Chain A
């Protein structure tokens, strides 16, 4: 398997993205913004379609549009204090535009757009890996800077605001990091299955762990293990990788539920 360049690239890209998704996923769960992660995945389609129309790479289009959407979601969500509503409105607007873009770009519809919808990890190029490394570094360093106040404002928002922790600014900041991560993860699991990597690992960790670092480790572990096993299974059993990733993450989530039941018995 290792003699194939495409498999090497898939493992490198998959591991890096799984690592960063594991971390981001934990915060997505603690901050209860799974819907935003889901919506950004869908908005990626509009970005990719828009970029295709003006002749740019899908990645540049979805990255730009996802960041713009994240900022709008953060700003409206703060103002009306109902983030789900804000996400829903932004999603409706951009998905509508996406549908129109696809209508305009019917000839190229089957190619690059489909890759964004369902992911295509086996076609990752060295250039894409380079972009993924840069973006992951940006997300990771940015997250490390705000991790302590972000964690506290996620768990205890009332006290965080009494400590003058800038919760609203942190919220927009984190949504931007989420948007960048979604843009990368789209290439692996695709826009439609983005839920898998951005919600699943954090959800599994939150069910069976207590402390911050143990939860984070489990989340990263579940994420990386799912991607690795999926690549192996898809190579040897000839199954679609994104399908394997979603199935494995669901499987790990079910295991975490059993662990939770066992641990709750000793409480």
Chain B
């Protein structure tokens, strides 16, 4: 099957405040693939995500997302940051938060049609959140919240999902639940997923390829050995 390019970089150099974190690198990431992003703290993983989201400008080189300049297709990029603050009221359910995420970039009033509610219920099923989606968001556990974030990304019809350390702070059972949801999404949709994690040994078997930040260089490797060289990824 001829897979489309979701992310394409040419001689891209990322960093911030004019300080480069990497040497120029070329990447071609395809749709319907699940990529692991690994590297030591401060090696540029999160900066790479922020560059993809056009929140930080590349130092040099070219970066295309879905064949357009960065920033043009952000409505189709789902993002689960490491830290976030949600201003949910005490009784605001996770379901209401998911609904409010639908087409949030468009002007006008929010319209919650029956079709949208049906789509939301299906997505909630997919991420395994049916049991708690109607409970107040603030009463959910860390693992449950992460699955709601997934549903939030999916309802916006994301084509690329960026996850920054989604497994951090989760107990083994929550990790398993979250990974099961990701595997199901990977199977059922053509969504491309990129995931920063320090627990790569737990998920390596599910991933299609790895983007490896090391010594100011960015490697793209399909095989495990390249990763195994690095002690800090935990393998």
Chain A residues in the interface with B (C-beta under 8 A): 29-32, 144-149, 151-165, 206-213, 215, 260, 263-264, 267
In the complex, which of the residues B92, B105, B156 contacts A210, with contact meaning CB atoms closer than 8 Å?
B92
Q: Is the interface of A mostly helix, strand, loop or mixed?
A: helix
| Contacts A159-B152, A161-B55, A260-B90; A152 near B104 (Cβ below 8 A) | yes
User: Interface residues of B, CB < 8 Å — how many?
Assistant: 39
In the complex, which of the residues A31, A149, A158, A267 contacts B104, with contact meaning CB atoms closer than 8 Å?
A149
Question: Does B108 lie within 8 Å of A164, measured CB to CB?
Answer: no
- Count chain B CB atoms within 10 A of each CB in A32, A161, A163 and give the residue with the most: A163
A-B contact pairs, 20 of them (CB 8 A): A149-B107, A152-B100, A152-B101, A152-B104, A155-B87, A155-B92, A156-B101, A157-B85, A157-B87, A158-B83, A161-B55, A162-B53, A162-B74, A162-B79, A163-B77, A207-B91, A210-B91, A212-B100, A212-B110, A263-B91
Question: Does A145 lie within 8 Å of B91, measured CB to CB?
Answer: no
Question: Does B55 lie within 8 Å of A162, measured CB to CB?
Answer: yes
In the complex, which of the residues A149, A211, A260 contacts B105, with contact meaning CB atoms closer than 8 Å?
A149
- 16 additional A-B residue pairs with CB within 8 Å, beyond A148-B109, A160-B104: A29-B89, A149-B106, A149-B107, A151-B100, A152-B100, A152-B101, A158-B81, A161-B55, A163-B75, A164-B71, A207-B90, A209-B89, A212-B99, A260-B90, A264-B91, A267-B136
Question: Does B108 lie within 8 Å of A155, measured CB to CB?
Answer: no
B80-102 interface with A by 8 A CB criterion: 81, 83-93, 96-97, 99-101
Question: Does B91 lie within 8 Å of A260, measured CB to CB?
Answer: yes
Q: What A residues does B81 contact at CB under 8 A?
A: 158-159, 162
- Count chain B CB atoms within 10 A of each CB in A153, A155, A165, A215 and give the residue with the most: A155
